[in-house]
Amino acid sequence: MSVTFAPHDEAFRQDVRSFIAENYPAELRVANPETDLTKEQSLLWHRILFRAGRLAPHWPKEYGGPGWTTVQQYIWDQETALAGTLPPLAFSVTMVGPVIYTFGNAVQKARFLPRILSGDDWWCQGYSEREAGSDLASLKCKAVRDGDHYIVNGHKIWTTLAQHADWIFCLVRTDVSAKPQRGISFLLIDMTTPGITVRPIITIDGSHEINEIFFEDVRVPAENLIGEENKGWDYAKFLLGNERTSMAGTGHARRALAELKSVAAQERAGGAPLLADADFARQVARTEIDLAALEFTELRMISALSAGRDPGAGASLLKIRGTEVRQRIAELTHRAIGSYGMVLRHELALGHNEPAPGPDYGHTATERYLNTRKLSIYGGSNEIQRNIIAKAVLGL
Ligand SMILES: Cc1cc2nc3c(=O)[nH]c(=O)nc-3n(C[C@H](O)[C@H](O)[C@H](O)COP(=O)(O)OP(=O)(O)OC[C@H]3O[C@@H](n4cnc5c(N)ncnc54)[C@H](O)[C@@H]3O)c2cc1C
């Protein structure tokens, strides 16, 4: 297998690097972009990419994608991640956009797609409920048809960045008597509709990233139904496949690994750099080998996709291994920093007489470590991905 890229792809890579260097706003380089930036700041890069026609690499050209090949899309994803740029909002661009252009009608495409690209609409994902996470098909949030509206009642939870959202795409139950998967519909709901309440959930790292949402007699125009009533499960699965494929995060892992090595070269153990400690170096090397193996697996899938083959349950494999590697890098970085990594920024913000002890890179280590716990839970937990592989690949 050859892993060299064609000269025109290498030229594309150089173009991507120059574009990022010339256009990425410095103000977006903060410790935790998901929670340290305002809504407007979060959209800055999104809008720059939109104006440059580089926003939605995976979208077909007719809907506003740049018309790149699968390899160019891969290079774009790698280079933007390696450069540490803020990804465009996944719920809009990676998740609901493809559902709308694949299953939506002409009116829905014309109404929603341009506003996703321009960043005028911020979307959030209303799948999970208290008793419906891994067992998503048991969801209870109900939509009852009333003339040309649906009346929605129920509750969603773990809704990422719903505090900024203009719209939510929701899985709702429209037939309580059918088998669980058969009675679900995919509904687009305007977050300003009366009857919607968003309540923050503060996570273990002290950040406000996720929310609970309550729906009380919320009137939703029936024209906001995607595809057919009670066929929502098919659209939901299509979306989850896209979500998982985008979760390998190898570019992010490469960047984090370089940071880990830099920290371990500065920190000392027994009078020498920690990176020279045989046991620590072995663990870093082990992680780097796993990452390299994952990168090759990803390239194999890119190659299959380029040839028009569906990677199938491969999305689950990428999700499991990608998130495990990223969590291990976060753990090793935290260990490398040692007790200085115990500082919590949100506690520092409460006011202290003394500056925080230890190097600056230590002040976000605990937050990052805690925040990366989520990677193996969201998008369908890693245990569930293993079940999918057991069934779909191993036939167990
Ligand atoms: C930071 C974060 C952001 C999120 N954002 C969103 C969002 O924007 N929108 C949204 O809809 N959801 C979101 N989620 C929810 C996420 O999809 C669910 O948390 C996830 O699907 C797991 O569901 P659960 O939390 O109900 O856990 P449960 O389903 O209760 O599972 C609990 C544990 O049991 C294990 N388990 C469950 N069933 C099985 C089984 N059959 N076999 C083996 N093990 C099993 C699970 O792996 C897990 O470890 C988010 C979650 C997190 C952590």
**Percentage of residues in the chain with pLDDT exceeding 90?**
74
Q: Is 125 a pocket residue for ligand 1 (Cβ < 6 Å)?
A: yes
Look at residue 133 and give its three-state secondary structure. coil
Please give the backbone phi and psi of residue 125, each rounded to the nearest 5 degrees, phi first.
-110, 115
Question: Concatenated DSSP letters for 49-88?
Answer: HHHTT-S-TTS-GGGT-----HHHHHHHHHHHHHTTPPPP
209: CA distance to ligand 1 center in Å?
16
| Residue 202 parent element (H or E) | strand 196-202
Please give the backbone phi and psi of residue 189, each rounded to the nearest 5 degrees, phi first.
-125, 130
Query: How does residue 248 score in pLDDT terms, banded at 50, 70 and 90?
Result: confident
Instruction: Count the helix, strand and coil residues of the chain and give each as a percent rounded to the nearest 5.
Output: 55, 15, 30
CA quadruple 92, 95, 100, 103: dihedral, nearest 10: 180
236: CA distance to ligand 1 center in Å?
15
Local structure of residue 177 (DSSP, 8 states): S
CB 70 within 8 A of CB 10: no
133: CA distance to ligand 1 center in Å?
5
- For 345, counting Cβ atoms within 10 Å of its Cβ (0-12 exposed, 13-18 middle, 19+ buried), the class is middle
378: CA distance to ligand 1 center in Å?
6
Look at residue 220 and give its three-state secondary structure. strand
Give the residue among 236, 394, 389 at the shortest CA–CA distance from 319. 389
Write the Ramachandran bin of 351: left for phi over 0, alpha for psi from -120 to 50, otherwise beta: left
pLDDT at residue 198 above 60? yes
Please give the pLDDT value at position 346.
Answer: 66
What would the pLDDT profile of 106-133 be if each residue is shown by its tens digit? 999 999 999 999 999 999 999 999 999 9
What would the pLDDT profile of 2-12 be if each residue is shown by its tens digit? 678 899 999 99
- Atom from ligand 1 closest to the CA of residue 131: 26
Look at residue 188 and give its three-state secondary structure. strand
Please give the pLDDT value at position 302.
Answer: 80
CB 181 within 8 A of CB 132: no
Please give the pLDDT value at position 342.
Answer: 77
The amino acid at residue 179 is K
What would the pLDDT profile of 25-48 be if each residue is shown by its tens digit? 999 988 777 777 899 999 999 999
* Greatest Cα pair distance in the chain: 76
CB 188 within 8 A of CB 226: yes
pLDDT at residue 101 above 90? yes
CB 94 within 8 A of CB 238: no
